Amino acid sequence: MNNKYIIEFKQLIKIGVPIFGSQMSYMLMGATDVIVAGRASANDLAGLALGTAFGNAIWFFISGVIFSVTPIIAQLYGAKKFIEIGKKLREILWIALFLCIVIVLIFTNLDLILDQLPTNKGITKISGDYLKAVSIGTACFTIYTCLRCYSEGMTLTRPIFVIAFFGMILNIPLDIIFVYGLFGMPALGGVGCGIATSIIGFLMMVVLIIYINFSKNYKHTKPFSEFTPFSFETTKEVFKLGLPIGMGIFFELSMFSGAAIILSVFGEIVVAGHTVAINIASLFFMVPLSIGLAAATRVGNLIGEENPFQAQFAAYSAIYLCSFTALINSIIILVFGSYIVSLYTTEIPVKELAIALTLFAAIFQLPDGVQMGALGSLRGYKDTFAPMILLFISFWIFAMPIGYFLTNYGFNDPLEAKGMWYGMIIGLTIFSFLVISRLRWIIKKTLKFKISESHQLLNQ
């Protein structure tokens, strides 16, 4: 294999391993919520699932704007503009603070929408109360995410992992205490997961602020050295780059939320079984996701260094590495699916359905892994608008309508949960082809510009 690819594999792994640890920690927090709430009751699990489906889609849509920090900082870091990095961070923190207020207002009033759903009122009550409980923590995670992306853009991924890991560990006893009512606390069921998450979100935000302020790793960027006022120019840059990222994530997550809503009419067993299967798929997706996020940093650094040829190798390396890890994930799910499901639930009907859906979760890994390598690389190039459009086409023009039809009607009989999974897999497959085509076009455009620029310099 070409040595340049080997070099890029090593770089992606170096950046990506701590990111994987961080992302796995975030997912394990969610998995802990699902397991603890699921063992309380199917209603608590269904209520939590519906609440997180809404909450995650909205949070990623709003705070997805902040994900633009990674490519912005990565390119500045590659260009060695360290003082400008600190200034950008302070300006973007104003945006993050505003988004925190918006998130709290929305989360505390989402029960007005949930009450209108054709879902068991016991489930929607749990969902609404959970969203109120988790609102403050979600706001704290927005500030934390801004600082996290700043750190990861400079390839400082290990401190983020350490903080996330300890947050995940602390989340376990807090979930148990608030869900089951230990140490004199009332038993809150699924709502208790929201309180635990808020405590964790606040602590992680505070610890990261303190670490960045005192660690020598960040001193050259002077992140908190002075007061910087709100900047309309930076706000325009962040929203131009980040709003498509947020919209794209929203289209993807709202597909999962839409799936939960469509399936909710079939009762708590179907919703709970689907939730377990999608959680398993999401947990395994953390590997290619981490590589994709590492690609955004690596490609961004190389573009900042004005080295588009190496950036090309980095982008293709990310796709190859994501594809390989996705294949391994699929094999593991197929072999150990029933054992993994048993960790989530003890209710036989939920367990049987979730095991049946693990076949789809295994297939799901392949297109989902491939697209993440390409999508992460495109973020490194600061190309976010076109991927947003491709996500909308793939998920809302194809995945959701196909899934809805197969779930409720099918070609002979309604396929229920399986129909929704068919639709999602089709949508992801379409997107993986489209986003790779877009990446190839962006690479050719960037290389053509660099070659043209070099010729101009030679002719001067």
For residue 174, which amino acid is it? L
| Residue 176 in this model has a pLDDT that exceeds 70 | yes
Which pLDDT belongs to residue 454? Answer: 59
For residue 231, which amino acid is it? S
* Distance, first Cα to last Cα, the chain: 38
pLDDT bracket for residue 117 (50, 70, 90)? confident
pLDDT bracket for residue 348 (50, 70, 90)? confident
Candidates 435, 434, 433, 450; CA nearest to 310 is: 450
The residue-averaged pLDDT of 228-241 equals 92
d(CA 225, CA 87): 9
Task: Kindly tell me the burial class for residue 452, based on how many C-beta atoms sit within 10 Å of its own C-beta (0-12, 13-18, 19 or more).
Answer: exposed
Mean pLDDT lowest for which of 23-27, 86-90, 162-166? Answer: 23-27
- How does 198-234 read in b/e, with b if 16+ C-beta sit within 10 Å? bbbbbbbbebbeebbeeeeebeebebeeeebeebeeb
Q: What is the pLDDT of residues 206-234, one digit of tens each?
A: 999 999 999 999 999 999 988 889 899 99
With H, G, I as helix, E, B as strand and everything else as coil, classify residue 242.
Answer: helix
- How does 335-354 read in b/e, with b if 16+ C-beta sit within 10 Å? eebeebbeebbebeebbebb
CA distances, 108 to each of 102, 111, 119 (Å): 10, 7, 19
CA distances, 353 to each of 41, 278, 284, 336 (Å): 16, 12, 19, 15
Task: Kindly tell me the burial class for residue 101, based on how many C-beta atoms sit within 10 Å of its own C-beta (0-12, 13-18, 19 or more).
Answer: exposed
CA distances, 159 to each of 36, 66, 150, 151, 215 (Å): 28, 19, 12, 8, 10
- Number of alpha carbons in the 13 Å side-chain half-sphere of residue 144: 24
Q: What is the pLDDT of residues 141-168, one digit of tens each?
A: 999 999 999 999 999 999 999 999 999 9
> Which token pair is 390?
């491709």
d(CA 93, CA 72): 14
Which pLDDT belongs to residue 49? Answer: 79
The residue-averaged pLDDT of 95-103 equals 92
Candidates 372, 282, 281; CA nearest to 319 is: 372
The residue-averaged pLDDT of 343-366 equals 88
Mean pLDDT lowest for which of 27-31, 96-100, 424-428? Answer: 27-31
Mean pLDDT lowest for which of 124-128, 314-318, 335-339? Answer: 124-128
Which pLDDT belongs to residue 258? Answer: 79
Mean pLDDT lowest for which of 86-95, 229-238, 315-324, 450-459? Answer: 450-459
Domain residue extents for the chain = 3-449
| Residue 458 in this model has a pLDDT that exceeds 60 | no
d(CA 13, CA 264): 40
With H, G, I as helix, E, B as strand and everything else as coil, classify residue 56.
Answer: helix
Q: Which residue has the higher pLDDT, 194 or 46?
A: 194
Q: Which residue has the higher pLDDT, 255 or 20?
A: 20
Percent of the chain topping pLDDT 90: 53
Q: Backbone dihedral region of 189: left (phi > 0), alpha (psi from -120 to 50 degrees) or beta?
A: left
CB 89 within 8 A of CB 227: no
CA distances, 313 to each of 18, 300, 447 (Å): 22, 13, 12
The residue-averaged pLDDT of 377-391 equals 94
**Highest averaged pLDDT of the listed ranges 20-24, 32-36, 120-124, 314-318:** 314-318
Average pLDDT in the chain: 88
Candidates 290, 268, 285, 269; CA nearest to 127 is: 268
Spatial CB neighbours of 108, under 8 Å, sequence gap ≥ 6 = 131, 132, 135
The residue-averaged pLDDT of 359-375 equals 92
Instruction: Name the pTM for this structure.
Output: 0.83
| Residue 324 in this model has a pLDDT that exceeds 70 | yes
Strands, DSSP E only, in 54-124? Answer: none
